């Protein structure tokens, strides 16, 4: 089963023995075995019983809370996934070791730029009519990748990542119908349907990154590319860079196949939101492609945990 998504106002979720009991308005209750649920996504005004939350935490099931009507920040609840403090101590050592931190940040940016360039190449194969928009960006990304390889500090790498994103989105937006109004990347709030879909995809990706880090026993607040900022899971933001291109490819496919259309979105005081039917289609197709990036996130988190543990062990007398 994997992921359960609850997106109906007034739904009540409780625990009944080893089952999740779902009571939706005007619908008979239904039960799902808790042992089969890896993650629970709740959108909007839904009630959750405290005994259900404790059981989900005990079995390491992540709970992602999406705000009602898409307004505000999402929240995630999860239990500590690993009890080996050695990993976190080693992570802190790597974070204050300038060469080690730069090497990790360089790898993240390299993955991001390669992913952007591969996606533009795929788009060019499908849309050769866009070659005048895509080819220059692909060339620029190739040059940025070479600069990343020789960068020696995190601020320089962040600057290169920003330059790569500017080149990428300038080309990426050309693949979408002008009627969608997608001119540039914007968020909080998104101003057009493409940005609204991207924001939701990135939010779900961030939740998957947090879960991977929790399972690996790492501190999600302390990143290597992203600077520590109060209230931000900087290491989760680092991992998100590894999966962004898959989200962007997914959003492109949704609009290219008209799974999502402009009329599926509504304007809410200047913020564009997905309608309920559109969210249902989005979530259903998201779960079909999400296992791939989840495997990569867990693989990278495990590798970083091993490196962190080795960094700590090397300091032992």
Question: Where in the chain do CATH 3.100.10.20 domains reside?
Answer: 2-77
CATH number listed for the domain at residues 85-313: 1.20.120.920
Residues in contact with 85: Cβ distance below 8 Å, sequence separation at least 6, in sequence order:
none
Question: Where residue 143 falls among pLDDT bands split at 50, 70, 90?
Answer: very high
Question: Where residue 71 falls among pLDDT bands split at 50, 70, 90?
Answer: low
pTM of the model: 0.87
Least confident range from 13-17, 40-44, 114-118, 224-228: namely: 40-44
Which is more confidently placed, 280 or 171? 171
| Rounded Cα–Cα distance for residues 145 and 163 (Å) | 11
* pLDDT score for 81: 61
CATH number listed for the domain at residues 2-77: 3.100.10.20
Residue 316 above 70 pLDDT?
Answer: no
Question: Where in the chain do CATH 1.20.120.920 domains reside?
Answer: 85-313
* pLDDT score for 82: 63
- A 10 A CB-CB count for 42 gives 21
Q: What angle do CA 73, 74, 76 make, to 5 degrees?
A: 140
* pLDDT score for 30: 84
* pLDDT score for 303: 94
Question: Where residue 69 falls among pLDDT bands split at 50, 70, 90?
Answer: low
Question: Where residue 4 falls among pLDDT bands split at 50, 70, 90?
Answer: confident
- pLDDT single digits (tens) 230-241: 888 999 999 999
Q: What are phi and psi for residue 97, nearest 5 degrees?
A: -95, 100
Strand-pair partners of 271: 268
- Determine what percent of the chain is predicted with pLDDT higher than 70: 95
- pLDDT single digits (tens) 171-189: 999 999 999 999 888 877 8
């Amino acid at each position: 089963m994997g992921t359960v998504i609850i997106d109906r106002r007034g739904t009540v979720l409780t625990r009944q023995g080893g089952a999740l009991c779902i009571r939706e308005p005007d619908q008979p209750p239904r039960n799902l075995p808790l042992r089969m649920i890896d993650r629970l996504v709740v959108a909007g005004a839904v009630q959750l019983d405290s005994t259900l939350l404790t059981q989900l935490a005990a079995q390491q099931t992540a709970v992602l809370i999406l705000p009602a009507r898409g307004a505000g920040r999402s929240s995630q609840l999860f239990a500590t996934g690993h009890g080996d403090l050695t990993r976190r101590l080693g992570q802190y050592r790597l974070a204050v070791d300038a060469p080690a931190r730069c090497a990790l940040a360089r790898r993240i940016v390299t993955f991001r730029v390669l992913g952007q360039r591969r996606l533009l190449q795929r788009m060019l194969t499908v849309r050769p009519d866009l070659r005048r928009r895509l080819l220059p960006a692909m060339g620029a990304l190739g040059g940025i990748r070479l600069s990343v390889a020789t960068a020696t500090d995190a601020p320089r790498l962040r600057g290169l990542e920003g330059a790569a994103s500017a080149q990428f989105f300038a080309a990426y937006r050309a693949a979408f119908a002008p009627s969608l109004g997608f001119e540039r990347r914007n968020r909080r709030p998104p101003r057009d349907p493409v940005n609204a879909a991207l924001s939701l995809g990135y939010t779900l990706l961030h939740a998957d990154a947090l879960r991977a880090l929790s399972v690996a026993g790492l501190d999600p607040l302390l990143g290597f590319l992203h600077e520590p900022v109060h209230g931000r899971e900087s290491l989760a933001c680092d991992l998100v860079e590894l999966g962004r291109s898959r989200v962007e490819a997914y959003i492109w496919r949704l609009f290219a196949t008209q799974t999502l259309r402009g009329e599926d979105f509504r304007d809410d005081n200047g913020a564009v939101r997905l309608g309920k039917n559109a969210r249902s289609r989005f979530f259903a197709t998201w779960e079909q492609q999400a296992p791939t990036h989840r495997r990569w996130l867990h693989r990278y988190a495990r590798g970083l945990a091993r490196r962190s543990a080795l960094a700590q062990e090397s300091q032992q007398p």
